[in-house]
């Protein structure tokens, strides 16, 4: 009797399992087709791509990215904010038109008006971060995406004041306060700041005001350093380390895109300098019209090369 009950249970279990298996087999798989996002759509997701230069990896260099604060990919045109002067207003915030680009699959061809053609691999790291990789130099640049109305242009400006000082051929003293103790810096009327790594990277002159830039003779040379002031985002310190002379220390503030103010704590004197001879970094060469007229031909050549 027990044996018959056991056989009945086994048979019923087998039937139930067979029934379950049969139900699984007849079900049909449902596939949901996800929309394909193109590389060009990714590049256009954000109006501004901030070049996080500190994260750059590799021993090489992509010239048009190395000194760009931001780049933008807009309807085939490649823009860059290479200057701090006018940042936020130049090109409605996009900066200068410095070339064009063509995006496909996981690569982007950038044809820079000065530096030529670069083919870069693009990897999306997050919703607003991408990596641009140059296989020729084995170098990676990291870009962070923003919209223009949320991008903090002021922060970029004040974080890079040392570059701002380099954007004019020279700075001419236009004001000296009546208060303050007489000191040797009273006699210096011009300051010239050069890029780091260029040897003695500042010069100063006692020449009279108003002379042509090319006629200025610089009496002193040395190195300069700019540092933050704690709890004061808009004010910096500037140290002029003169060769063979003592240092001069100032508190630096920016009046506008072409004027700075230097407060000399040791004497209590305030100086104002105005920039002369603005340097437009990495702008297009002479003959921009020719570049624009040949863009269509070059773009067609790139497309043919990919076929």
Per-residue pLDDT of the chain (307 residues; tens, 9 = 90+): 444 344 444 445 444 444 444 455 445 565 555 557 899 999 999 999 999 998 999 989 999 999 899 999 999 999 999 999 999 999 999 999 999 999 989 999 999 999 999 999 999 999 999 999 999 999 999 999 999 999 999 999 999 998 899 999 999 999 999 999 999 999 999 999 997 655 559 999 999 999 999 999 999 999 999 999 999 999 999 999 999 888 999 999 999 999 999 999 999 999 999 999 998 875 444 332 322 333 333 333 444 334 4
Taking the C-alpha atoms of residue 56 and residue 163, their distance in angstroms, rounded to an integer, is: 18
Contacts of 251 (CB under 8 A, 6+ apart): 229, 235, 236, 237, 238, 262, 263, 265
Contacts of 75 (CB under 8 A, 6+ apart): 44
pLDDT at 37: 83
The CA-to-CA distance between both ends of the chain, in Å, stands at: 80
What is the number of other CB atoms lying within 10 angstroms of the CB of residue 126? 8
Coil, strand, or helix at residue 207? coil
Q: What pTM was estimated for this model as a whole?
A: 0.74
Q: Which domains does the chain have, with CATH numbers?
A: 39-153+284-306 (2.40.128.280), 168-278 (2.40.128)
pLDDT at 266: 96
Question: What's phi and psi for 9, nearest 5 deg?
Answer: -65, -45
Strands 247-256 and 259-264: antiparallel
Taking the C-alpha atoms of residue 28 and residue 60, their distance in angstroms, rounded to an integer, is: 54
Contacts of 79 (CB under 8 A, 6+ apart): 71, 72, 73, 91, 94, 95, 96, 97, 98
The alpha carbons of the chain give a radius of gyration, in whole angstroms, of 31
Strands 139-146 and 259-264: unpaired
Task: Kindly provide the b/e burial profile for residues 281-297, where b requires at least 16 CB atoms within 10 angstroms of the residue's own CB.
Answer: bbbbeeeeeebeeebee
Sign (positive/negative) of CA torsion 91, 144, 196, 205? positive
Taking the C-alpha atoms of residue 97 and residue 83, their distance in angstroms, rounded to an integer, is: 13
């Amino acid at each position: 009797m027990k044996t018959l009950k056991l056989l009945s249970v086994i048979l019923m279990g087998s039937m139930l399992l067979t029934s379950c298996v049969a139900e699984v087999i007849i079900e049909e798989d449902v596939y949901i087709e996800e929309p394909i996002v193109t590389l060009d759509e990714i590049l256009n997701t954000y109006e501004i791509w901030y070049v996080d230069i500190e994260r750059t990896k590799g021993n090489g260099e992509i010239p048009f990215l190395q000194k760009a604060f931001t780049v933008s990919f807009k309807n085939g045109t490649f823009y860059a904010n290479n200057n701090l002067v006018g940042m936020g207003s130049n090109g409605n915030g996009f900066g200068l038109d410095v070339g064009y680009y063509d995006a496909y699959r996981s690569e982007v061809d950038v044809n820079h008006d000065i530096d030529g053609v670069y083919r870069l691999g693009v990897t999306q790291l997050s919703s607003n971060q991408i990596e641009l990789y140059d296989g020729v130099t084995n170098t990676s640049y990291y870009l962070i995406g923003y919209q223009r109305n949320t991008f903090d242009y002021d922060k970029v400006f004040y974080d890079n004041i040392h570059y701002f000082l380099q954007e004019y051929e020279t700075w001419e003293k236009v004001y000296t306060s009546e208060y303050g103790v007489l000191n040797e810096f009273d006699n210096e009327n011009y300051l010239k700041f050069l890029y780091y790594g260029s040897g003695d990277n500042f010069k100063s002159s006692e020449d009279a005001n108003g002379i042509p830039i090319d006629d200025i003779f610089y009496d002193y040379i040395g190195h300069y350093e700019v540092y933050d002031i704690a709890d004061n985002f808009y004010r910096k310190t500037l140290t002029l380390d003169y060769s063979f002379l003592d240092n001069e220390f100032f508190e630096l503030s920016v009046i506008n895109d072409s004027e700075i103010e230097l407060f000399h704590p040791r004497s209590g004197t305030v100086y104002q300098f105005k920039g002369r001879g603005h340097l437009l970094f990495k702008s297009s060469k002479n003959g921009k019209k020719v570049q624009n007229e040949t863009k269509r031909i070059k773009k067609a050549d790139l497309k043919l090369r990919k076929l």
